[in-house]
Structure 1
């Protein structure tokens, strides 16, 4: 063989080792969707079931068989009536236990999600699915036992605390985002994938809410809870036996001490390594924080708003309104994102979305009839798109060996917003109720305008610099 030919055969070739599926959604994506179907519906029905069981348990202890319509306050029930006072006690105690149950999961969950996802950059993504599905399965089994034996409500809180210590549902969401970043290319493909996942979440939550209402009405609490255990068990089996590892070894970060993992999470916003992108990351994180703050507590606020005057809606109307709004938002994610993305960039879609979100809140604030309130889901259709667009832009700027760290910080912000919004907007609603019952929605509209301003400034001053995948040298013999 000639020397020239030998040298040419040994010349290193550059091969792109990105594990994405190119422009097609392969089996890895649909396996993730299958896990999501079982997990989201299970978690959704569990939420409605255990929330209503808590109220049932409190009612049983305080009212002792006395029935009173929850809309009687709106209809002018005599507030000096002892039965009315007992009902108020039920509402307050139920709200207390539900808040305690939520905090028992979200506070330790926020700490776990700040730590564990970053390790997936060096250990692989599978841990981000195995841990949450296992702990959610165990929690729902405990819930079923609590309902069957009618144990004290405190056991519900302890079960949620156990789940939260290991990351809870938030860890799964972090893993889901990193998984998508592993199997898609930056740009249109990743935008579609992330938006479809976010839209699917809204659709599944809508279905689980509707299903839970009828399920509980006809079957009580135990059968829905056992059904949830079965659904999450199927999700767990897919994760253990079918879901592949997507973070290839050549893309993984080196193993490092715990302190270094914490530095990786904040490095995007302070490290010299990202000096040319630091301002872009900071602006997008600020926009994401405010956007998440405006959306994370919306359903609960709307429920309070609709229960009071002038609407005095019963639970059926509230459920239908919530289903309509979530369904239309999910529709935007599943159907409209593809044509929107073919016409506009992510930043333009995010700007338009924040404008529609502000408009939906203004309409809701000034609604004084059922008809006007039913129109709110129309401008709200595009309202959620700003969040997946911001996530997509941040992910596209980030190298493959740092996706876990990026989404660890993003999901932590989601949990922080959930906790903050619960107290902040409930307080604003209570304080301003006597002034103008819709004032809290005008505050939310103002925050949406703030998101709009930050995104416009980003569009004028920054660019999304796509991080190229790692290249691997291959020597032919």
Structure 2
């Protein structure tokens, strides 16, 4: 039976299953640490949270509460740091190697790792095992590549099938699916938690991941024809050499102006990702803290509202692309959207304000989609895997480093200014904004050269292109 060239169902179901558990992991660790540090059962109420009752109690409970906040933040730090190195190496290797072995190798293996992690969550919760076993489960999942590898493989898959403005919109559509399905999952977590405890959503997530794994293995069609068995390189060291060779060729095969432009875009991508990932990684923990003192229901609503950012960002990309707006303008608007939104979060002291703080962030996902598309159009079709391997490597590195930095800062400042990390994120947005100015000067000449090629690319047939073409194609004007 012929397979389907649709990676969107894989991304959608993966996002739903992953975010069905993601908001719960912090809450589960939080409750287990509360039990260990206070030697008492975590208090659950329909209307109030732990910190609200701690404020009405004695000073000792407030001390316990701050200690749990610090320990939960450090737990996240340990998980991120220990899983960082294997995840980075596997991401770089698998996504680059997918140029030869096929994109599915970079999609299927991370799904296996995520399934193993979810089963570990279920085992720790159901059997009431030591909560620090989850750190080991995170490390095991990282050996299969993790989220960075999965998204790198999916974006490279889309780049194989699309060109011109279609690629920008389809990459943005993948980002939107991640956001929307994660929002649907997050919205149900609070009610799911009260109805079935932690075991219910963990089990449901595992079932969804089994389904998406079966789809990826048996239904999803490959876009890259792997070499014959005799031509394959069984030596692992040879595969590593090929990976670095592919990344080297990606830069060497482009002209000096394009190479400079590509490097600048990568720096913009990573610096913006650092600020975005760092601030959002602590949003749930911040909402559990006083003066907000959110319950699990409100956390579900807040996470679901955050997911609408993906929808509005996709609508923004579609509208601006249709109107012919410069791509760098879209990137700038997304950066300013994050800066304004995190500043509003820092000064939000009520539930209404923290909900409204999401509104200025509605366009903050646009830079990720637009920058991926811009970089993809600079290089050859046969080097897409190397590009997205490098981007995934940079993204995973940024996520881990930003989580380590922001969690450390939060643990140090939670006693006197919990919102400091969000002001820090807003300030860091100055870096990608400044780099955009450099890109405007560097990219002007490249954009003029590409304008004729971009117009021709938009008129090409929508048949699936061969990925072994060596000539760069489907370039849009970068500034027009």
Alignment of 1:227-376 (within 5 A): 227-248=204-225, 257-265=239-247, 267-269=249-251, 271=252, 273-308=254-289, 310-327=291-308, 329-343=309-323, 344-367=325-348, 369-376=350-357
Paired residues of 2:37 and 2:64 also in contact (CA < 8 A): yes
2:114 aligns with 136
Paired residues of 1:45 and 1:212 also in contact (CA < 8 A): yes
Which segment drifts farther, 430-439 or 379-388? 430-439
Q: CA deviation at 1:201?
A: 1.0
1:157 aligns with 135
Partner secondary structure for residue 127 of structure 1:
helix
Matched, 1:166 2:166: no
Query: Could you tell me how far apart the structure 2 residues matched to 1:254 and 1:401 are?
Result: 17
Partner secondary structure for residue 243 of structure 1:
coil
Cα deviation per residue 1:129-175 (whole Å; 9 max; x = unaligned)? 22112222233233333333323234333222221112122211110
Q: How many positions carry a matched residue from both structures?
A: 438
Q: TM-score, normalised by structure 2?
A: 0.81
Matched, 1:54 2:36: no
Q: CA deviation at 1:48?
A: 3.3
Paired residues of 2:101 and 2:225 also in contact (CA < 8 A): no
Q: Find the partner of 1:221 among 198, 202, 205.
A: 198
Partner secondary structure for residue 338 of structure 1:
helix
Alignment of 1:368-387 (within 5 A): 369-387=350-368
Paired residues of 2:279 and 2:425 also in contact (CA < 8 A): no
RMSD of aligned Cα (Å): 3.1
Q: CA deviation at 1:311?
A: 4.1
Distance 1:379 1:57, change over 3 A: closer
Which segment drifts farther, 371-380 or 221-230? 371-380
Matched, 1:425 2:394: no
Q: CA deviation at 1:442?
A: 3.5
Cα deviation per residue 1:316-345 (whole Å; 9 max; x = unaligned)? 444433322321x12224434322211113
Distance 1:434 1:267, change over 3 A: farther
1:15 aligns with none
Larger Rg: 1
Q: CA deviation at 1:259?
A: 2.2
Cα deviation per residue 1:62-88 (whole Å; 9 max; x = unaligned)? 444444552148736433x3x555555
Q: CA deviation at 1:285?
A: 0.7
2:474 aligns with none
Alignment of 1:462-477 (within 5 A): 462=443, 463=446, 465=450
Query: Could you tell me how far apart the structure 1 residues matched to 2:285 and 2:239 are?
Result: 47
Query: Could you tell me how far apart the structure 1 residues matched to 2:367 and 2:141 are?
Result: 30
Paired residues of 2:73 and 2:411 also in contact (CA < 8 A): no
Where does structure 1 lack aligned partners over 5 or more consecutive residues?
1-26, 473-477
Where does structure 2 lack aligned partners over 5 or more consecutive residues?
44-48, 458-464, 471-480
Q: CA deviation at 1:471?
A: 5.7
Q: TM-score, normalised by structure 1?
A: 0.81
Partner secondary structure for residue 281 of structure 1:
helix
